[in-house]
Chain A
Amino acid sequence: MAEIVSVHATSHTPVMINFPGAIPDEDRERIFAGFRQVGEEIRQARPDAVVVVSDDHVHNFFLDNLPAVCIGAAASWKSPVEHWLKIDQHELRGDVQLGGHLITSALDSGFDPAFSMALTLDHGTLAPLHLAGIAREVVVVPVLINCVQPPLPPMKRALQWGRLLGQALRSYGGCERVSVLATGGLSHDIATPRMGLVNEAFDREFLRLLAANDDARLLEHATHRVHEAGNGAEEVRTWLVAHGVADGAAFDTLYYKAVPAWYTGIGLGRWRTGSM
Protein backbone atom coordinates (compact mmCIF):
# COMPACT_ATOMS: atom_id res chain seq x y z
CA MET A 1 0.00 0.00 0.00
CA ALA A 2 1.15 3.55 -0.68
CA GLU A 3 2.69 5.75 1.98
CA ILE A 4 1.93 9.47 2.09
CA VAL A 5 5.49 10.73 2.23
CA SER A 6 4.86 14.47 2.35
CA VAL A 7 2.01 16.96 2.68
CA HIS A 8 2.53 20.67 1.98
CA ALA A 9 0.40 23.72 1.24
CA THR A 10 1.38 27.00 -0.41
CA SER A 11 -0.11 30.15 -1.87
CA HIS A 12 -0.27 30.20 -5.67
CA THR A 13 -0.93 33.77 -6.78
CA PRO A 14 0.27 34.31 -10.37
CA VAL A 15 1.42 37.78 -9.34
CA MET A 16 4.52 36.08 -7.90
CA ILE A 17 5.39 34.97 -11.43
CA ASN A 18 4.26 37.98 -13.43
CA PHE A 19 5.24 40.82 -11.11
CA PRO A 20 8.10 39.53 -8.95
CA GLY A 21 9.62 42.98 -8.68
CA ALA A 22 6.52 44.51 -7.08
CA ILE A 23 7.80 43.71 -3.59
CA PRO A 24 11.13 44.34 -1.82
CA ASP A 25 13.98 42.05 -2.87
CA GLU A 26 14.41 40.65 0.64
CA ASP A 27 10.78 39.54 0.87
CA ARG A 28 10.77 38.03 -2.59
CA GLU A 29 13.99 36.12 -1.94
CA ARG A 30 12.64 34.68 1.31
CA ILE A 31 9.36 33.65 -0.33
CA PHE A 32 11.05 32.06 -3.32
CA ALA A 33 13.51 30.31 -0.98
CA GLY A 34 10.48 28.93 0.86
CA PHE A 35 9.09 27.48 -2.34
CA ARG A 36 12.48 25.96 -3.16
CA GLN A 37 12.50 24.41 0.33
CA VAL A 38 9.08 22.86 -0.33
CA GLY A 39 10.37 21.55 -3.64
CA GLU A 40 13.47 20.07 -2.03
CA GLU A 41 11.40 18.41 0.70
CA ILE A 42 9.12 16.86 -1.91
CA ARG A 43 12.17 15.78 -3.92
CA GLN A 44 13.73 14.21 -0.81
CA ALA A 45 10.45 12.37 -0.12
CA ARG A 46 10.89 10.62 -3.52
CA PRO A 47 7.19 10.42 -4.41
CA ASP A 48 5.99 8.31 -7.31
CA ALA A 49 3.25 10.94 -7.78
CA VAL A 50 2.13 14.26 -6.32
CA VAL A 51 -1.56 14.87 -5.77
CA VAL A 52 -1.95 18.61 -6.31
CA VAL A 53 -5.09 19.98 -4.68
CA SER A 54 -6.02 23.33 -6.20
CA ASP A 55 -8.86 25.09 -8.01
CA ASP A 56 -9.70 25.89 -11.61
CA HIS A 57 -9.92 29.64 -12.16
CA VAL A 58 -12.84 29.47 -14.63
CA HIS A 59 -10.82 28.02 -17.50
CA ASN A 60 -11.72 24.35 -17.76
CA PHE A 61 -15.09 24.87 -16.13
CA PHE A 62 -17.77 27.50 -16.66
CA LEU A 63 -21.25 28.14 -15.31
CA ASP A 64 -22.68 25.68 -17.82
CA ASN A 65 -20.90 22.81 -16.07
CA LEU A 66 -19.01 23.54 -12.88
CA PRO A 67 -18.11 20.63 -10.59
CA ALA A 68 -17.65 21.05 -6.85
CA VAL A 69 -14.73 18.63 -7.09
CA CYS A 70 -13.00 17.23 -10.17
CA ILE A 71 -10.25 14.59 -10.12
CA GLY A 72 -7.95 14.29 -13.10
CA ALA A 73 -6.83 11.00 -14.63
CA ALA A 74 -4.55 11.34 -17.63
CA ALA A 75 -1.02 10.45 -18.70
CA SER A 76 -0.14 14.11 -19.23
CA TRP A 77 -1.51 17.59 -18.70
CA LYS A 78 -1.08 20.72 -20.76
CA SER A 79 -0.23 23.87 -18.80
CA PRO A 80 -0.62 26.73 -18.34
CA VAL A 81 -3.99 27.60 -19.82
CA GLU A 82 -3.39 31.34 -19.28
CA HIS A 83 -1.65 32.96 -22.24
CA TRP A 84 -0.61 35.81 -19.94
CA LEU A 85 1.18 33.69 -17.34
CA LYS A 86 4.95 34.06 -17.66
CA ILE A 87 5.76 30.36 -17.63
CA ASP A 88 6.55 28.52 -20.87
CA GLN A 89 3.83 26.14 -21.96
CA HIS A 90 4.79 22.53 -21.39
CA GLU A 91 3.25 19.22 -20.42
CA LEU A 92 3.17 17.86 -16.90
CA ARG A 93 3.32 14.12 -16.44
CA GLY A 94 0.16 12.44 -15.10
CA ASP A 95 -0.99 9.10 -13.71
CA VAL A 96 -4.18 7.57 -15.10
CA GLN A 97 -4.22 4.68 -12.63
CA LEU A 98 -3.82 6.75 -9.47
CA GLY A 99 -6.34 9.32 -10.66
CA GLY A 100 -8.78 6.53 -11.47
CA HIS A 101 -8.22 4.97 -8.06
CA LEU A 102 -9.06 8.24 -6.31
CA ILE A 103 -12.22 8.63 -8.42
CA THR A 104 -13.53 5.11 -7.79
CA SER A 105 -12.54 5.18 -4.12
CA ALA A 106 -14.44 8.44 -3.68
CA LEU A 107 -17.55 7.08 -5.40
CA ASP A 108 -17.41 3.89 -3.34
CA SER A 109 -17.22 6.00 -0.17
CA GLY A 110 -20.26 8.16 -0.87
CA PHE A 111 -18.49 11.10 -2.51
CA ASP A 112 -19.46 12.31 -5.96
CA PRO A 113 -16.50 13.76 -7.88
CA ALA A 114 -16.51 14.77 -11.49
CA PHE A 115 -13.55 13.47 -13.42
CA SER A 116 -11.57 14.68 -16.39
CA MET A 117 -9.03 13.11 -18.71
CA ALA A 118 -8.21 16.36 -20.54
CA LEU A 119 -7.62 19.35 -18.29
CA THR A 120 -5.37 22.25 -19.23
CA LEU A 121 -4.05 23.15 -15.82
CA ASP A 122 -3.76 26.78 -14.74
CA HIS A 123 -1.49 28.74 -12.42
CA GLY A 124 -3.13 27.17 -9.38
CA THR A 125 -1.39 23.91 -10.11
CA LEU A 126 1.61 25.10 -12.12
CA ALA A 127 2.86 28.19 -10.29
CA PRO A 128 3.81 26.46 -6.99
CA LEU A 129 5.40 23.51 -8.82
CA HIS A 130 7.34 25.97 -10.97
CA LEU A 131 8.54 28.04 -8.02
CA ALA A 132 9.41 24.85 -6.15
CA GLY A 133 11.54 23.79 -9.12
CA ILE A 134 9.81 20.45 -9.62
CA ALA A 135 7.24 21.09 -12.36
CA ARG A 136 9.17 19.08 -14.92
CA GLU A 137 10.14 16.32 -12.49
CA VAL A 138 7.00 15.09 -10.80
CA VAL A 139 3.95 13.09 -11.84
CA VAL A 140 0.82 15.13 -11.13
CA VAL A 141 -2.66 13.97 -10.18
CA PRO A 142 -4.84 17.09 -10.03
CA VAL A 143 -7.73 17.44 -7.62
CA LEU A 144 -9.67 20.63 -8.30
CA ILE A 145 -12.14 21.96 -5.74
CA ASN A 146 -14.42 24.85 -6.62
CA CYS A 147 -13.29 27.90 -4.64
CA VAL A 148 -14.11 30.53 -7.26
CA GLN A 149 -17.79 30.53 -8.14
CA PRO A 150 -20.70 30.14 -5.73
CA PRO A 151 -22.47 28.01 -4.79
CA LEU A 152 -19.31 26.62 -3.16
CA PRO A 153 -18.80 23.34 -1.32
CA PRO A 154 -18.81 23.92 2.45
CA MET A 155 -15.50 24.15 4.30
CA LYS A 156 -16.38 21.03 6.31
CA ARG A 157 -16.76 19.12 3.06
CA ALA A 158 -13.20 20.05 2.11
CA LEU A 159 -11.94 18.49 5.33
CA GLN A 160 -14.05 15.39 4.69
CA TRP A 161 -12.60 15.19 1.19
CA GLY A 162 -9.13 15.32 2.66
CA ARG A 163 -9.81 12.43 5.03
CA LEU A 164 -11.29 10.44 2.15
CA LEU A 165 -8.32 11.14 -0.13
CA GLY A 166 -5.91 10.16 2.64
CA GLN A 167 -7.66 6.81 3.10
CA ALA A 168 -7.78 6.27 -0.66
CA LEU A 169 -4.07 7.01 -1.07
CA ARG A 170 -3.07 4.74 1.80
CA SER A 171 -5.10 1.90 0.25
CA TYR A 172 -3.51 2.28 -3.19
CA GLY A 173 -1.44 -0.64 -4.35
CA GLY A 174 -0.21 0.86 -7.61
CA CYS A 175 2.79 2.70 -6.18
CA GLU A 176 4.66 3.06 -2.92
CA ARG A 177 5.10 6.77 -2.25
CA VAL A 178 2.69 9.68 -2.75
CA SER A 179 3.01 13.38 -1.90
CA VAL A 180 0.21 15.89 -1.51
CA LEU A 181 0.58 19.59 -2.32
CA ALA A 182 -2.36 21.91 -1.66
CA THR A 183 -2.30 25.38 -3.21
CA GLY A 184 -4.24 28.62 -2.80
CA GLY A 185 -4.99 31.50 -0.43
CA LEU A 186 -4.36 32.81 2.01
CA SER A 187 -6.35 36.05 2.35
CA HIS A 188 -6.80 38.07 -0.82
CA ASP A 189 -9.48 39.69 -2.90
CA ILE A 190 -9.69 39.49 -6.67
CA ALA A 191 -11.66 42.09 -8.63
CA THR A 192 -13.63 43.58 -5.75
CA PRO A 193 -13.49 47.01 -4.12
CA ARG A 194 -11.29 45.40 -1.42
CA MET A 195 -8.62 44.27 -3.91
CA GLY A 196 -5.24 44.89 -2.33
CA LEU A 197 -6.42 44.39 1.23
CA VAL A 198 -4.93 41.44 3.12
CA ASN A 199 -6.36 40.10 6.38
CA GLU A 200 -3.30 39.08 8.35
CA ALA A 201 -5.31 38.31 11.50
CA PHE A 202 -7.48 35.82 9.59
CA ASP A 203 -4.42 34.16 8.08
CA ARG A 204 -2.45 33.86 11.30
CA GLU A 205 -5.45 32.42 13.17
CA PHE A 206 -6.03 29.92 10.38
CA LEU A 207 -2.38 28.80 10.57
CA ARG A 208 -2.54 28.67 14.38
CA LEU A 209 -5.61 26.44 14.30
CA LEU A 210 -3.97 24.10 11.78
CA ALA A 211 -1.04 23.75 14.18
CA ALA A 212 -3.37 23.31 17.15
CA ASN A 213 -5.14 20.46 15.33
CA ASP A 214 -8.42 21.91 16.53
CA ASP A 215 -10.64 20.89 13.64
CA ALA A 216 -13.88 22.23 15.12
CA ARG A 217 -12.51 25.72 15.63
CA LEU A 218 -10.60 25.54 12.36
CA LEU A 219 -13.82 24.89 10.45
CA GLU A 220 -15.67 27.53 12.43
CA HIS A 221 -12.98 30.09 11.60
CA ALA A 222 -12.81 29.17 7.92
CA THR A 223 -16.58 29.06 7.50
CA HIS A 224 -17.57 32.18 9.40
CA ARG A 225 -14.58 34.49 8.94
CA VAL A 226 -13.67 33.85 5.31
CA HIS A 227 -15.88 36.73 4.18
CA GLU A 228 -13.57 39.07 6.08
CA ALA A 229 -10.55 37.72 4.21
CA GLY A 230 -11.59 38.03 0.57
CA ASN A 231 -12.85 35.85 -2.24
CA GLY A 232 -9.35 34.45 -2.77
CA ALA A 233 -9.36 33.22 0.82
CA GLU A 234 -12.06 30.77 -0.22
CA GLU A 235 -9.06 28.75 -1.43
CA VAL A 236 -8.26 27.73 2.14
CA ARG A 237 -10.50 24.78 1.22
CA THR A 238 -7.40 23.27 -0.41
CA TRP A 239 -5.47 23.61 2.86
CA LEU A 240 -8.36 21.90 4.65
CA VAL A 241 -8.15 19.04 2.15
CA ALA A 242 -4.43 18.70 2.94
CA HIS A 243 -5.18 18.85 6.66
CA GLY A 244 -7.64 16.00 6.24
CA VAL A 245 -5.13 13.96 4.26
CA ALA A 246 -2.53 14.50 7.00
CA ASP A 247 -4.91 12.85 9.49
CA GLY A 248 -3.72 14.55 12.64
CA ALA A 249 -0.05 14.97 11.76
CA ALA A 250 1.56 18.07 13.25
CA PHE A 251 1.54 21.22 11.12
CA ASP A 252 4.37 23.75 10.80
CA THR A 253 4.13 27.15 9.18
CA LEU A 254 7.20 27.42 6.98
CA TYR A 255 6.55 31.05 6.02
CA TYR A 256 3.89 33.70 6.33
CA LYS A 257 3.76 37.35 5.48
CA ALA A 258 1.01 39.70 4.44
CA VAL A 259 2.13 41.01 1.04
CA PRO A 260 -0.34 43.68 -0.12
CA ALA A 261 1.79 44.55 -3.14
CA TRP A 262 1.10 41.01 -4.34
CA TYR A 263 -2.52 41.40 -3.13
CA THR A 264 -2.09 38.30 -0.97
CA GLY A 265 -1.23 36.80 2.39
CA ILE A 266 1.58 34.48 1.30
CA GLY A 267 1.72 31.25 3.29
CA LEU A 268 3.69 28.02 3.07
CA GLY A 269 3.20 25.08 5.41
CA ARG A 270 4.00 21.43 6.00
CA TRP A 271 2.42 18.57 7.86
CA ARG A 272 4.91 16.16 9.49
CA THR A 273 4.09 13.00 7.60
CA GLY A 274 6.45 10.34 6.31
CA SER A 275 10.00 11.14 7.38
CA MET A 276 9.30 14.88 7.80
Chain B
Amino acid sequence: MTQSNWRQIMPTAEAYWMNRVLYDIHHVDSHLQRYKADPDAYMAEVPLAAAMKAAIRDNDIGAMYLAGVNPLLLRAHCLGLRISEATFVASLRAVVHDSTGEASHG
Protein backbone atom coordinates (compact mmCIF):
# COMPACT_ATOMS: atom_id res chain seq x y z
CA MET B 1 0.00 0.00 0.00
CA THR B 2 1.34 3.45 -0.91
CA GLN B 3 1.86 5.68 2.12
CA SER B 4 -1.26 7.69 2.79
CA ASN B 5 -2.50 10.14 5.38
CA TRP B 6 -5.81 8.30 5.41
CA ARG B 7 -7.08 4.79 6.11
CA GLN B 8 -9.91 5.21 3.63
CA ILE B 9 -10.34 7.58 0.71
CA MET B 10 -14.08 6.97 0.87
CA PRO B 11 -15.44 6.02 4.30
CA THR B 12 -17.03 2.60 4.62
CA ALA B 13 -20.52 2.24 6.07
CA GLU B 14 -18.88 0.83 9.19
CA ALA B 15 -16.66 3.90 9.51
CA TYR B 16 -19.69 6.13 9.00
CA TRP B 17 -21.51 4.60 11.96
CA MET B 18 -18.46 4.61 14.21
CA ASN B 19 -17.96 8.27 13.34
CA ARG B 20 -21.67 8.87 13.94
CA VAL B 21 -21.41 7.58 17.49
CA LEU B 22 -18.33 9.68 18.28
CA TYR B 23 -19.72 12.80 16.63
CA ASP B 24 -23.03 12.61 18.49
CA ILE B 25 -21.61 11.94 21.95
CA HIS B 26 -19.14 14.80 21.61
CA HIS B 27 -21.51 17.36 20.13
CA VAL B 28 -24.75 16.72 22.03
CA ASP B 29 -24.33 16.81 25.79
CA SER B 30 -27.34 14.59 26.50
CA HIS B 31 -25.84 11.93 24.20
CA LEU B 32 -22.57 12.03 26.13
CA GLN B 33 -24.41 11.54 29.41
CA ARG B 34 -26.42 8.60 28.01
CA TYR B 35 -23.27 7.07 26.55
CA LYS B 36 -21.29 7.39 29.76
CA ALA B 37 -24.16 5.90 31.77
CA ASP B 38 -24.40 2.78 29.60
CA PRO B 39 -22.41 2.63 26.34
CA ASP B 40 -23.88 -0.72 25.31
CA ALA B 41 -27.42 0.55 25.71
CA TYR B 42 -26.54 3.79 23.88
CA MET B 43 -25.22 1.82 20.89
CA ALA B 44 -27.87 -0.90 20.94
CA GLU B 45 -29.64 0.30 17.79
CA VAL B 46 -26.48 1.35 15.94
CA PRO B 47 -25.90 -0.97 12.93
CA LEU B 48 -22.36 -1.98 13.86
CA ALA B 49 -20.78 -5.37 14.51
CA ALA B 50 -20.25 -6.24 18.16
CA ALA B 51 -16.46 -5.98 17.79
CA MET B 52 -16.71 -2.40 16.55
CA LYS B 53 -19.06 -1.42 19.34
CA ALA B 54 -16.63 -3.01 21.78
CA ALA B 55 -13.75 -1.01 20.29
CA ILE B 56 -15.65 2.20 21.00
CA ARG B 57 -16.83 1.12 24.45
CA ASP B 58 -13.36 -0.08 25.50
CA ASN B 59 -11.56 3.01 24.13
CA ASP B 60 -9.50 0.82 21.81
CA ILE B 61 -8.01 3.79 19.98
CA GLY B 62 -5.87 1.65 17.66
CA ALA B 63 -8.85 -0.45 16.55
CA MET B 64 -10.91 2.64 15.88
CA TYR B 65 -8.06 4.13 13.85
CA LEU B 66 -7.78 0.95 11.80
CA ALA B 67 -11.54 0.94 11.19
CA GLY B 68 -11.30 4.37 9.58
CA VAL B 69 -12.60 6.64 12.32
CA ASN B 70 -11.91 10.26 11.45
CA PRO B 71 -8.75 11.42 13.28
CA LEU B 72 -10.34 14.63 14.50
CA LEU B 73 -13.22 12.70 16.04
CA LEU B 74 -10.77 10.26 17.55
CA ARG B 75 -8.90 13.21 19.04
CA ALA B 76 -12.16 14.71 20.34
CA HIS B 77 -12.99 11.34 21.89
CA CYS B 78 -9.68 11.38 23.76
CA LEU B 79 -10.23 14.91 25.03
CA GLY B 80 -13.94 14.44 25.76
CA LEU B 81 -13.49 11.24 27.77
CA ARG B 82 -10.28 12.50 29.36
CA ILE B 83 -8.24 9.59 28.04
CA SER B 84 -4.66 10.37 28.98
CA GLU B 85 -2.37 11.64 26.24
CA ALA B 86 0.11 8.84 26.96
CA THR B 87 -2.57 6.14 26.65
CA PHE B 88 -3.93 7.68 23.48
CA VAL B 89 -0.57 7.93 21.73
CA ALA B 90 0.56 4.49 22.96
CA SER B 91 -2.57 2.84 21.55
CA LEU B 92 -1.95 4.47 18.17
CA ARG B 93 1.72 3.51 18.13
CA ALA B 94 0.78 -0.08 18.91
CA VAL B 95 -0.64 -0.18 15.41
CA VAL B 96 2.18 -1.71 13.41
CA HIS B 97 2.78 -2.14 9.73
CA ASP B 98 3.38 -5.64 8.42
CA SER B 99 5.60 -6.49 5.44
CA THR B 100 2.85 -5.68 2.91
CA GLY B 101 2.62 -2.14 4.23
CA GLU B 102 -0.84 -2.75 5.64
CA ALA B 103 -1.36 -1.50 9.16
CA SER B 104 -2.51 -3.98 11.78
CA HIS B 105 -3.07 -4.00 15.50
CA GLY B 106 0.13 -5.02 17.22
Closest to A122 in B: B72
Q: Report A154-171 CB contacts with B as 1/0, cut-off 8 Å.
A: 000000000000000000
Instruction: Note all chain B residues with C-beta closer than 8 A to A110.
Output: none
Query: How near does chain B come to A75, taking the closest CB pair, in angstroms?
Result: 24
User: B43 at interface (Cβ–Cβ under 8 A)?
Assistant: no
Q: Report B60-81 CB contacts with A as 1/0, cut-off 8 Å.
A: 0100010000111111101110
Q: Report B1-25 CB contacts with A as 1/0, cut-off 8 Å.
A: 0111110111100001001100100
Flag if B3 contacts A228 (CB, 8 Å). yes
B10-49 interface (Cβ within 8 A of A): 10-11, 16, 19-20, 23, 27
Instruction: Note all chain B residues with C-beta closer than 8 A to A84.
Output: 79-80
Query: How near does chain B come to A86, taking the closest CB pair, in angstroms?
Result: 12
The total of interchain contacts (Cβ-Cβ below 8 angstroms) comes to 71
Flag if A58 contacts B72 (CB, 8 Å). yes
Q: How far is the CA of A58 from the CA of B9 in the complex (A)?
A: 16
User: A249 at interface (Cβ–Cβ under 8 A)?
Assistant: no
Closest to B62 in A: A193
Query: How near does chain B come to A196, taking the closest CB pair, in angstroms?
Result: 7
Flag if A193 contacts B95 (CB, 8 Å). yes
Q: Report A182-223 CB contacts with B as 1/0, cut-off 8 Å.
A: 000000011111011000000000000000000000000000
| Interface size, B (range) | 20 to 34
Q: How far is the CA of A84 from the CA of B16 in the complex (A)?
A: 24
Q: A190-B71, A190-B72 are in contact. Are A231 and B92 (CB under 8 A)?
A: no
User: B57 at interface (Cβ–Cβ under 8 A)?
Assistant: no
Flag if B6 contacts A150 (CB, 8 Å). yes
Flag if B9 contacts A150 (CB, 8 Å). yes
User: A151 at interface (Cβ–Cβ under 8 A)?
Assistant: yes
Q: A84-B79, A230-B5 are in contact. Are A195 and B19 (CB under 8 A)?
A: no
Partner of A231, one of B10, B23, B71, B89: B71
Q: How far is the CA of A190 from the CA of B5 in the complex (A)?
A: 10
Query: How near does chain A come to B7, taking the closest CB pair, in angstroms?
Result: 9
Partner of B5, one of A57, A151, A196, A226: A226
Instruction: Note all chain B residues with C-beta closer than 8 A to A62.
Output: 19-20, 23
Flag if A57 contacts B23 (CB, 8 Å). no
Flag if B70 contacts A149 (CB, 8 Å). yes
Flag if A148 contacts B95 (CB, 8 Å). no
Query: How near does chain A come to B83, taking the closest CB pair, in angstroms?
Result: 11
Closest to A230 in B: B5
Q: Report B86-97 CB contacts with A as 1/0, cut-off 8 Å.
A: 001100110110
Q: How far is the CA of A195 from the CA of B87 in the complex (A)?
A: 13
Contact sample, A vs B, 11 pairs, CB 8 Å cutoff: A63-B16, A63-B19, A82-B76, A150-B6, A189-B5, A190-B75, A191-B65, A192-B71, A193-B65, A193-B96, A195-B89
Instruction: Report the 3 A-B pairs with minimum CB-CB distance, sorted nearest first.
Output: A191-B71, A191-B74, A231-B5
20 more contacts with CB within 8 A, not counting A190-B72, A191-B88, A233-B5, are: A58-B72, A62-B23, A63-B11, A63-B19, A63-B20, A148-B72, A149-B72, A150-B10, A151-B10, A189-B71, A190-B74, A190-B75, A191-B92, A192-B5, A193-B92, A193-B96, A195-B92, A228-B3, A231-B5, A231-B6
- B contact residues vs A (CB 8 Å cutoff): 2-6, 8-11, 16, 19-20, 23, 27, 61, 65, 70-76, 78-80, 88-89, 92-93, 95-96, 103
